[in-house]
Amino acid sequence: MPSEVALLESRTLRADHLGRVDVLEKVKALQLLPDGLHVTTEGVAQYFAVHKQAVHSVVKRHREELTANGMTLFSGDDLRLDDVAKTATSSDHARGSYPQGRSHLRVFTRRTVLNIAMLLRDSEVARCVRTYLLDTEETTRTVIANDPRHDGLELRVTRLESSMAQIGPALQELGPVLGRMSARLDSLDHRMAAMDHRMEAMDRRLDAVDRRVASVDRRLDATNRVVGAMSVRLMDLTEDVADIQRRLPRPPHPRRKRRKQ
């Protein structure tokens, strides 16, 4: 059986035990967020009865390993849009705290909390989790070894447990991913709806412009008809004046007076 020190030092040994998340609840109740899947940094510190700085130190030293096992950091727009982040924020409000100044939020899955239990040295709760984990493993192996019915199945059962340990956390971690995708799709739907409203408003404005242009065209046609009628009338008046002039008698030419001689 691997020792507790070996568990603290070997990432490979820790990976072999990450499927036993049930050990956490057997040692101490874990305060989860309302989604039932995640824990905040404050919740992890409360579970292990340590200051938050101890959790930050473990995260700093083993960031890559913890991220691979379910630790997630939210910042920027994710704090406002992601369902897990919004759940954590609402939970903070319920406890009476005010997270408005928070620039980022780190959450952990059960798998990540168990990972921290195998890394956190100065915590009696973490030590109990490691001890329970190793004792349970040794008891299980002893029972299997003494039972002849399991002689040919041990290897297959081990492989099956390893596969299930990987599938379970993967399914748990898939939920937040789907939640983020759903939130982004909802945001895209809102943007498309706003664009549709703008296009409808643009269509209404174009229809109004078309109606105004048609009205101007009608007025121009009426003006052209009036101008045409006036031209015809002027031509008629010109002919009438010419006819009158032809009919009038010509005035007599005045005779010149002869000069007196």
What's the pLDDT tens digit per position in 20-54? 999 999 999 998 988 888 999 999 999 999 999 99
Mean pLDDT across the stretch 173-185? 81
Q: What is the pLDDT of residue 106?
A: 92
Instruction: Give dist(CA 71, CA 43) in Å, integer.
Output: 13
In this structure, what are the phi and psi dihedrals at residue 73, rounded to the nearest 5 degrees?
-115, 125
Q: What is the pLDDT of residue 144?
A: 43
Rg of the chain's alpha carbons, rounded to an integer? Answer: 46
Report the chain's terminal Cα–Cα distance, integer Å: 170
Q: What is the pLDDT of residue 259?
A: 55
Mean pLDDT across the stretch 235-249? 81
| Segment of 78-92, 133-147, 170-184, 208-222 carrying the highest mean pLDDT | 208-222
In 3-state terms the chain splits into helix, strand, coil percentages (rounded to 5) of 70, 5, 25
Q: What percent of the chain has pLDDT over 90?
A: 31
Q: What is the pLDDT of residue 253?
A: 64
Position with higher pLDDT, 26 vs 79: 26
Q: What is the pLDDT of residue 164?
A: 58
Q: Closest by alpha carbon to 82, among 47, 65, 106?
A: 106
Token readout for 76 is 């920027």
pLDDT for 91 beyond 60: no
For residue 148, the 8-state DSSP code is G
Using CA atoms, how far residue 80 sits from 37, 114, 245, in Å, is 19, 28, 95
- CA 168 to chain CA centroid, Å, is 25
